[in-house]
Amino acid sequence: MKASAPGKIILFGEHAVVYGRPALAAPVTQIHAEAEVSDSAQAGIWIDAPNVELHAELNTLAPDDPLATVIHNLFFQLGIDPFPSLKISIRSTIPVASGLGSGASVSVALIRACSGHLGHELTDEEVNAFAYEIEKLHHGTPSGIDNTVVTYAKPVYFIKGRPIEIFRVGRPFTIVIGDTGISAPTKESVRDVRKLWDADREKWEGVFDRVGEIAAKAKTLIENGTWPELGPLMSQNHTLLQEMTVSSPEIDKLVKAAEKSGALGAKLSGGGRGGNVIALVEPERTEAVANTLKESGAQRVIITMIE
């Protein structure tokens, strides 16, 4: 049984989303994680995940290892006892710790492949709930946006604790994604923003409100198909992320370079401090912006359509 899940970008609202403000995220189908589960003649559950240099039997993994936790939680919930002998192969083209949803995508692919192999088809809602539990290991206090967009593989307007809202894209638009090549754990940036918030809640609630307003406005523009107006909103959102201390010199360099080469707006996407930058481009500027990002130090560039 094989299953796969896409990567994702956050278009607007990261970090503020942890504090109940809305955020917009979209799948990136050019990158994905894949899990394959089959019966094994060798006793035990053997996991092969070359991207994270893992080839081990389940019981030799640390109890809080995310892959081990996915399997233990799932088997427990499905009432699988004793565990069968299985071979699990995990492959991913999503760079880790770079804000593209690699952890959530691996979890979703693994949950679907394992449950499918064991004859328990899960609903998207169930897959999402399992994946959220694992996100807590990756992120500390996650909002749940990553697992949601990756599970449903559709653009989502996300407010923590509210029913999932899949939003309509009035007119598809192009995003260029540039990778700083710096991996930065989301857990740390989320923790640092919490420290700021703890020290001055009034100030940061105000900043999060502004981010939330941007995300809400962006949703209306996307639904109406007036996406060129998203450019300035992206840049405003990036300024607020800088204020939250989650940008970095490398990110700012790519954001500036994208804007200079004709992007309508650009911002970091995800946890920040490293990871990826996204730039909104008119179709005819795509190549120019992609090339400029590469010349400005982007380790890789992905061009994707939000549709």
Active site positions, annotated: 146
Q: Which stretch binds ligand PMV (CB under 6 A): 114-122, 141-149, 237-245, 259-267?
A: 141-149
Site for ligand PMV in 227-286 (CB under 6 A): 270-271
Phi, psi (5° rounding) for residue 272?
Answer: 90, -165
Distance in angstroms (rounded) separating the CA atoms of residues 114 and 231:
41
Distance in angstroms (rounded) separating the CA atoms of residues 105 and 34:
8
- Enumerate residues 6+ apart whose C-beta is below 8 A from 109: 3, 4, 5, 32, 33, 34, 35, 90
Q: Is there a contact between 279 and 302 (Cβ–Cβ < 8 Å)?
A: no
> Measured from the CB atom, is 127 or 190 closer to ligand PMV?
190
Tokens read off for 44: 């035990």
Over the window 100 to 119, marking each residue x when it contacts ligand PMV by CB under 6 A and - when it does not, the resulting string is -x------------------
Q: Give the shortest CB-165-to-ligand PMV separation in angstroms.
A: 16
Distance in angstroms (rounded) separating the CA atoms of residues 145 and 157:
9
Candidate residues 3, 4, 14, 92; the one interacting with ligand PMV per rule CB under 6 A: 14
Over the window 185 to 224, marking each residue x when it contacts ligand PMV by CB under 6 A and - when it does not, the resulting string is -x---x----------------------------------
- Enumerate residues 6+ apart whose C-beta is below 8 A from 55: 46, 47, 48, 49
Q: Give the shortest CB-154-to-ligand PMV separation in angstroms.
A: 17
Site membership for ligand PMV, residue 6 (CB under 6 A): no
Measured in whole angstroms, the distance separating CA 246 from the mean position of its chain's CA atoms is 16
Phi, psi (5° rounding) for residue 215?
Answer: -65, -40
Site membership for ligand PMV, residue 10 (CB under 6 A): yes
Q: Which stretch binds ligand PMV (CB under 6 A): 15-23, 123-131, 204-212, 258-266?
A: 15-23
> Measured from the CB atom, is 75 or 208 closer to ligand PMV?
208
Site membership for ligand PMV, residue 292 (CB under 6 A): no
Measured in whole angstroms, the distance separating CA 135 from the mean position of its chain's CA atoms is 10
Candidate residues 92, 105, 107, 143; the one interacting with ligand PMV per rule CB under 6 A: 143
Nearest to 23 by CA among 107, 136, 139, 148: 148
Q: Which stretch binds ligand PMV (CB under 6 A): 36-44, 78-86, 142-150, 258-266?
A: 142-150
Provide the binding-site residues for ligand PMV, judged by CB under 6 A.
10, 14-15, 17-18, 99, 101, 139, 142-143, 145-146, 186, 190, 270-271
